[in-house]
Amino acid sequence: MQVACPQNKLRQGPLVNKNSKSSQKGLRDHLPLAPRREEHFRWRGTEVSRVEGFTDAVFAFAVTLLVVALEVPHTFKGLMDVVRGFPAFVVCFVLLMAFWNAHYRYHRRYGLEGTFTRVMTMAILVLVLFSVYPLKFLFTLLTVQIFGLDLRDAPHLDGRDQVTTLYLIYGLGLAGVYGLYAVLYGYALAKREQLGLDAAETILTRSSLAAYLIYVGVCLLSITLALLTTSNWIPGVIYCVLGPLQAFNGWWFGKQLSATPRAA
C-alpha cells in the first residue's frame, strides 16, 4: 500500500496538468482573427463568462443567416448561383469576425463583467443581428456589379433615394457597433486605476479607443456625403480613407508605446 499511493499520485499529477492546459485552449482560440496574448498587455479575463458564451452563440447564429443557400441546389444554375454568392458571403463573414474579435479582445484584456458591460454587449448583439441582411444585400449588390456576375434575383436599387437610404443603413449600423465598442473602451480607460493598467496598457487602450472613433467618424462622413451630394459612389469610396487613418493611429500610439519603459 505504501508503494501504490505514490504511484497513484504521480499518475494523477500529469493528468491534472494536461487537462488544465487543454481547457485553456479551446475552439475559441482557433477561430479566425482570434488574438493571442499581447506582448505589452496583461490579459485580465482568463475564463469564458456566460456573457461571452452567449455572445459566441449569437455570432454563430448571425453567420448562419449569411449562408449562401438554405438548401442544396437542384439544378446546375442553382449551383452556380451559390458559387456567385460566395464572394459576398466571405466579405460579410470577415466583418462579423472583426466584430467578434473586438469583443473577444476587450474581454480578454479587461475582464469586465459588470452591468454596464453586459448592457453594452447586448446592444452590440442587437445591431449585429440587425445588420446581417443589410450587409448581405449590400455586398451581394457590389460583387454582382464589380465582377459582372449573372445572379438570379440579384439585389438592385431603383433611384437615388434608395441609394441614399442604403448608405444611411450601412453607415448607421457600422457607426453604432463601433461606437458601442468605443464606449466600452472609454469605460475601461476610466477604470484604469481599478484595473491596474500600466503606462503601456493605457496607451494601447487609448489606441483602441481612437481606432473605433475613427471608424465612427468615417461612417458619419459617408452619411453626410450621401445626404449632401448627388454622387452614388463618393459616399462609398470615402471608406477607403480608413486604411491611412488607422495606419496613422497605429504609428502615433506605437511611437508612444516604444517610448515607455516597459516597451524599451
* pLDDT in the model for residue 36: 62
Averaged pLDDT for residues 199-227: 97
- pLDDT of 2 strictly over 60: no
Q: Which domain holds residue 213?
A: 159-264
Percent of the chain with pLDDT over 90: 58
Confidence at 68, pLDDT banded by 50, 70, 90? low
> How wide is the angle at C-alpha 204 spanned by C-alphas 112 and 28, nearest 5°?
55
Strand stretches in 117-226, DSSP E: none
Q: Please check whether residues 225 and 138 belong to one and the same domain.
A: no
Do 175 and 205 fall into the same domain?
yes
- pLDDT value, residue 69: 61
Whether residue 175 is found in the same domain as residue 230: yes
Asked whether residue 248 falls in the same domain as residue 207, the answer is yes
Tell whether 6 is covered by a domain: no
Which pLDDT belongs to residue 154? Answer: 81
Q: What is the pTM of this model?
A: 0.81
State which of 97, 123, 156 marks the end of a domain: 156
User: What total of structural domains would you count in the chain?
Assistant: 2
Last residue of a domain, which of 156, 172, 193? Answer: 156
pLDDT at 24 (0 to 100): 45
From the list 180, 173, 181, the residue with the least C-alpha distance to 137 is 173
Same domain, yes or no, for 244 and 163? yes
What cell was used for 115? 452591468
- In-domain check, residue 13: no
Q: Give pLDDT tens digits for 33-56.
A: 555 678 889 999 878 888 889 999
**63: pLDDT strictly greater than 70:** yes
Indicate if 202 and 144 belong to the same structural domain: no
Same structural domain, 261 and 205: yes
Last residue of a domain, which of 99, 130, 156? 156
11 within domain boundaries: no
How many Cα neighbours within 13 Å face the side chain of 196? 4
Same domain, 91 and 174: no
Are 169 and 264 part of one and the same domain? yes
Residue 20 lies in a domain: no
Note whether 255 and 207 are within 8 A (CB): no
Q: Between 50 and 207, name the one with better pLDDT.
A: 207
Q: Does residue 216 sit within a domain?
A: yes
CA-CA distance, 216 to 203, in Å (whole number)? 20
Whether 37 is covered by a domain: the verdict is no
Q: Which helix (H) or strand (E) holds 156?
A: none
49 and 142 fall within a common domain: yes
In tens, the pLDDT along 145-156 reads: 888 887 777 888
> How many whole angstroms from its chain centre is CA 69?
24
Is 19 domain-assigned?
Answer: no
d(CA 230, CA 129): 30
What pLDDT is recorded for position 28?
Answer: 54
Distance, in Å, from the CA atom of 232 to the CA atom of 19, rounded to the nearest integer, reads 57
Which of 70-84, 91-105, 168-182, 244-258 is least confident? 70-84
pLDDT at 58: 94
pLDDT of residue 29: 56
Same domain membership, residue 173 and residue 92 = no
Q: How is residue 73 written as a grid cell? A: 441546389
Q: What is the pLDDT of residue 17?
A: 40
